[in-house]
Structure 1
């Protein structure tokens, strides 16, 4: 897939190290820098995300001729860069991180630049794209009249996603979607307030003002709100993620949205995909993971698998106890809920290992499951006591238990150790298998039979 990113670029630099003492001449921490990391910022970061997923990334921008521009070009290696002259210093944003925590940032070359020109090569590079992302960082590239006219002409045949900036240009009419964050949306629309109601009010104003196919207001851990002409706003919840640094999530959202729209997905479906992708990106460590070889979270990676393994990793990192249980959980009932709640009380997280549809059919016959695996997983993760769900295809859970290596494996009911092959597996790494009380008169089979009788 060929995705063109057009917009402003900058150089991000991280200086990181430990901070175990204060300066003798001022009450400030002394950071012993042991690592210097550079990466492209702005539209360059968006292009890098696209390239890291295996797509063809083309970056249309302007670049200076200073030393920082040389460093930025090196960080853009592997990306097809079509750049005109910027006529200004390269913006550099440097963050000082002490033990992983940002303590200060200083900016260089970030004064308003002169309006950049657009070359014929920049215009030609837009042709033949499967999708275009306009990444505006307020430095004038997307204010160029020739470039805007070309984007407006392409918007009728190519999905154009416009990521706006408070100091940037107004989106051209007809783009597939504009993706302001909540603060930006309120500012652009002149709407006061906060939360979902304010986001919906702002999106309504911006739809009319901008003339776009959709306005998608990103709201951080509250998800995204999708507004399109003639439809009620749709709120897309975000997967639960514990992220210290949200930087890059908006860019990751735009990339996933562009991929989804280029593949022919409706804007609401593409926005759901993008919301999950942004959460996965943060859950993997965000920008730190992007340069560590892990890359951004693949769009095809199941939410259940990523969430479960990440929950286990984070729980262990803080010295917590990992609890897991398993089953089909077809027709979720009160007995299941009580068993799961009891299991969660035994540790610091609860992972539910869920039999896949094929696995359930092998165990219970061709008429089961009644509820498909995606819906069963969603119902389970909606329970407050369940931290994550991990699907498995085998008839018994030994393989998935070996992947998780929980501290405690929980079964509901009365079992002897010889009845549970997973008990021996658990003991191989010092884990424990325990039971919690079985709730009588609660049975999926009985519920299924009752449903069959009432037809």
Structure 2
């Protein structure tokens, strides 16, 4: 994660100019307590305690760019109304440049109001008037001129398209005059509208990807494989140089012509009060690209930024300092059994599928990382149990382990697809399994379920035992033997 943290630092140091054009929304979050039902109807009465107004839609993308350290400027048309005034104030508060935000008498500002009571979203009220101004040439012309002015010396452009009819016309006309910026990122509900401009990167979610190619991606973790299988179709239909399919709790998949798919894993949090993580992801991709960060690193950075935003309630942003801390200290944690059980119970209440595996992991090698990646694909949360030092000595001999348990656990925690690590001192993880009761227990392919003492324990509470592929010629014992057999090739060399 060190390279990704460095990329986040670079965004703050360089402060690239990134323009966002699209549909700005005012997001309202009204929260309070509910202790009774209304007399008028079987509906809860909410005693309002807090009312928060923040930029949403394209405004949230711009706010995230500013929070990450970019110089963000928004181009959008909103209404000359009280909601528009509130949105402008929220944008200024977020540090977004608003010279390109046009208040028009022929337009009403879109708002989304969520009502939350005692840890539950009760309702969302959308005030979404007709945003089609294609028949209003003065507004279209004003938007084109505002975008041309904003693009002067811009390092990147993000198109945030929530469906306004005039947006493709505005962008195409402005690019024809101002020229194409170095990086063009499109985040759109309907990517077919943008194929003609050949975006550098598009960031559809699973539903938008399915709409683009008229083919569903399936459900859950299967969407990773499905997206990879239709990479050629997604690239052709979008006209983009790269497609990043975001899959909420299942991370994201990067697709490019002639390159294997790359997958990132999301670290799960409750999503009941979270909104706008897709805006955060698009903002981070654009900011990283604008400072020359390779797309693979930018994708990891964007996944970390979305995880940070989702950890907050409401329509939130990821600040640069938060992201740097997150990337420098990955969220995988070395926990004792009691704390780990509390975390696992919380994930299970949120509907997460918990996967558990175990081993000595004395010298981490490709056999380990391959099977840990495969294990993570079987669920939403991966827990790794590490044999304690005494346990390793009993299993492997008095000369092992080569590395103490705290070091072995720390290396595992640094892997992005590992969520939690714990240490057990017994020769088998049976006691730990009975404590955690994971949904899936995973072992490497040099075992079979019948060989494992853990199998009847897991099956007794309804869990599943899964054996993943074995990577031949990769084991700690073989690696240690190879190192010990190496001899100096010349005097004084060691």
Q: Kindly report which structure 2 residues correspond to 1:39-438, keeping only aligned pairs within 5 A, or say none.
A: 39-77=54-92, 78-81=95-98, 82-86=100-104, 87-115=106-134, 116-119=139-142, 120-145=145-170, 147-151=171-175, 157-166=181-190, 169-194=193-218, 195-232=223-260, 234-245=261-272, 246-282=274-310, 284-287=311-314, 290=317, 295=319, 298-303=322-327, 305-307=329-331, 331-332=363-364, 377-378=411-412, 387=420
- CA distance in 1 between counterparts of 2:417 and 2:251 reads 19
Following TM superposition, by how much is the alpha carbon of 1:381 offset from its aligned partner in structure 2, in angstroms?
A: 5.1
Following TM superposition, by how much is the alpha carbon of 1:71 offset from its aligned partner in structure 2, in angstroms?
A: 0.9
Shift in alpha-carbon separation, 1:262–1:144, aligned structure 2, 3 A: same
Q: Does 1:19 align with 2:34?
A: yes
The normalised TM-score by structure 1 is 0.68
> Which deviations, in whole Å up to 9, do the C-alpha atoms of 1:312-370 show, x marking residues without a partner?
9x95996999xxxxxx976149xx9xxxxxxxxxxxx9999xxxxxxxxxxxxxxx99x
Contact 1:14/1:96 (8 A) holds in 2: yes
Q: CA RMSD in A?
A: 4.1
Shift in alpha-carbon separation, 1:239–1:180, aligned structure 2, 3 A: closer
- CA distance in 2 between counterparts of 1:210 and 1:136 reads 14
> Which deviations, in whole Å up to 9, do the C-alpha atoms of 1:275-322 show, x marking residues without a partner?
22212322x3254654xxx8466443344625157989x95996999x
Partner in structure 2 of residue 325 of structure 1: none
Higher RCO (CA 8 Å, separation ≥ 6 residues):
2
The normalised TM-score by structure 2 is 0.63
Shift in alpha-carbon separation, 1:89–1:206, aligned structure 2, 3 A: same
Q: Does 1:452 align with 2:471?
A: no
- CA distance in 2 between counterparts of 1:178 and 1:152 reads 20
Q: How many residue pairs are counted as aligned between the two chains?
A: 363
Contact 1:15/1:37 (8 A) holds in 2: yes
Contact 1:13/1:94 (8 A) holds in 2: yes
3-state secondary structure, aligned to 1:61: strand
Contact 2:228/2:253 (8 A) holds in 1: yes
Task: Extract unaligned runs of 5+ from structure 2.
Answer: 1-15, 346-359, 369-382, 387-401, 428-475, 488-494
Partner in structure 1 of residue 6 of structure 2: none
3-state secondary structure, aligned to 2:140: coil
Task: Extract unaligned runs of 5+ from structure 1.
Answer: 322-327, 337-348, 353-367, 390-408, 414-443
